Amino acid sequence: MRSLCFVFTLLACLGLPALAQSVSIDLPHCAQTTLAERPQLSGEVIRVEHPRFIVHTTRNGRDAATPYYVEQLAEALNYALDVHERLGWRLPPNDCGEGGDPRLDVYVKDLSDEQAIGYAVKENVVGDNPNTPQVEQYAAYSHLIVENDMEFTTPEQATALIRATIAHELHHNVQFGYDFSESYFGFYEAGAVWMETQIFPQYTDAHVYVPYVFNQPDLCLGSRADERGLRIYGEWLMIDSFTRDLGLDGYERVWEVLALGEGLWAFYDALRQLGTTIESVVERMAIRNLLLDYELAHSFGGQVKVEVRASVPGRTTSRDEGVQQLAVDYVALETGALLDIRLEGPPNLRMTFVGLDRGRGLAYSYDLGQAAVLDTRLYDLGYILVRNTARHLDTSGCAYTPWAIDISPGTGTPTAQPQETWSASKFIPPP
């Protein structure tokens, strides 16, 4: 697994013009900038130049790379940049000539001591990125460092790693061109993993991070409190979910708002501007997670964790501590009867029911609120999603809320009706 660390070099840079396609470094605002230090290679430096970037490499010493390796690297960079531009992303600001001219610089080095195979390096803060129509305050330019040989794996795996790494790390360069210090940190990593799936879906390692979301669905959005702190990478599922609903450009629109605002509240506002809410986004992701309703679901290798199986009739309580803000607990529900279902807990807790018609490969979702009469006789399997709709400012304020569900035989006309039909063609019952 590549390390996705960030390196900070924050100096003053007042602003830069749009990305140059020439090698000129006559950029007016860079006159007031102290140039940042760049990596030193172990041998004579070879500059492999392309219109949008320069690869700095050598054939001598511990940093030596073969021409074929550099060619594969450059091919991945060009393709990743093409996809970014096709999706409407604005390129990062030009640097101030640290690598010889304003183009993006990529340094090919031996990273074995750092236990990394690539990372993006933040440098001078330019304030506003001239390549965007907005006026940012915290845009920064940056460069890339990539492992020089990947001899630790097979040639086929090395090709896959190069492409996945470039897709991920280049997107960090692009993100820094909007905001280099966004306090909703998890969005950097979730977004970079999601971009892997858009650029090189056949090579992405996005599936590696899915279990961190599936195994602890009750942790709040953006939480790093899971065992390895990798859950934020798995939240690419949220981006995949809301871009399917709002369009692929929805993710880039969110960054435009984050660049002008700050933190989770800016994220919530961005979704509002896109015509939805964070509560709806989390609910829809949770339903898709249950149903495995993703293009890459075949590679996930697991299902969401079911918190508990409800007693029908009877009372069921949260087995662990409860559910955190903007998170869910999954409760398996026995179907085949008319049920009166009541949730005990504060008003921010709500229930969503998902019923499975496995013969037709479909699922149906219901908003149960905190109480409803539900007819489950149409479904083979059913699940209640206990959702905590409370919002949080940052993950340091995340806390569990306990809940209980009382189920009794229902009478009269059902009060809950299906709201939406979902594909359940990839659904596998959770253990």
82 — phi, psi (to 5°)?
Answer: -60, -45
Residues 176, 319 within the same domain = no
In a domain, 354, yes or no: yes
Residues 163, 24 within the same domain = yes
Give the tens place of pLDDT for each residue, 29-39. 576 778 888 99
**Using CB atoms within 10 A of its CB, is residue 343 exposed (0-12), middle (13-18) or buried (19+)?**
buried
Residues 315, 176 within the same domain = no
The CA distances from residue 344 to 347, 365, 402, in Å, are 9, 21, 9
Q: Residue 25: is its pLDDT beyond 80?
A: no
Residue that terminates a domain, selected from 148, 181, 214: 181
Region 162-169: what's the mean pLDDT? 97
* Residue 70, H or E segment: helix 67-86
The total of structural domains in the chain comes to 2
Give the tens place of pLDDT for each residue, 187-243. 999 999 999 999 999 999 999 999 999 999 999 999 999 989 999 999 999 999 999
> Which range is least confidently modeled, 22-26, 161-165, 333-337?
22-26
In a domain, 384, yes or no: yes
| pLDDT band (50, 70, 90) for residue 248 | very high
Token pair 């900038």 in the structure block, residue? 33
For the record, the structure tokens of 418 come out as 């299906």
Say what the pLDDT of residue 377 is.
96
In a domain, 222, yes or no: no
CA–CA dist 215, 210 (Å, integer): 9
Domain encompassing residue 122: 1-181
Give the tens place of pLDDT for each residue, 252-292. 999 999 999 999 999 999 999 999 999 999 999 999 999 99
Q: Residue 99: is its pLDDT beyond 50?
A: yes
Token pair 């965007």 in the structure block, residue? 132
**What percentage of the chain reaches a pLDDT higher than 70?**
93
Cβ atoms of residues 41 and 19 within 8 Å: no
Say what the pLDDT of residue 26 is.
53
Give the tens place of pLDDT for each residue, 335-375. 999 999 999 999 999 999 999 999 999 999 999 999 999 99
What's 363's domain CATH number? Answer: 2.60.120.380
Q: Residue 4: is its pLDDT beyond 50?
A: no
Say what the pLDDT of residue 320 is.
82
Say what the pLDDT of residue 27 is.
55
Cβ atoms of residues 425 and 366 within 8 Å: no
Region 155-175: what's the mean pLDDT? 95
Q: Residue 159: is its pLDDT beyond 50?
A: yes
Residue that terminates a domain, selected from 181, 214, 241: 181
In a domain, 281, yes or no: no
Say what the pLDDT of residue 177 is.
96
Residue that terminates a domain, selected from 181, 214, 229: 181
In a domain, 341, yes or no: yes
Residues 174, 313 within the same domain = no
Q: Residue 18: is its pLDDT beyond 60?
A: no
In a domain, 230, yes or no: no
The whole model's pTM is what?
0.92
| pLDDT band (50, 70, 90) for residue 384 | very high
Give the tens place of pLDDT for each residue, 390-407. 999 999 999 999 999 999
**Using CB atoms within 10 A of its CB, is residue 28 exposed (0-12), middle (13-18) or buried (19+)?**
exposed
Say what the pLDDT of residue 5 is.
37
Helices (H), ranges, 261-338: 263-273, 278-291
The distance from CA 395 to its chain's CA centroid, rounded to whole angstroms, is 16
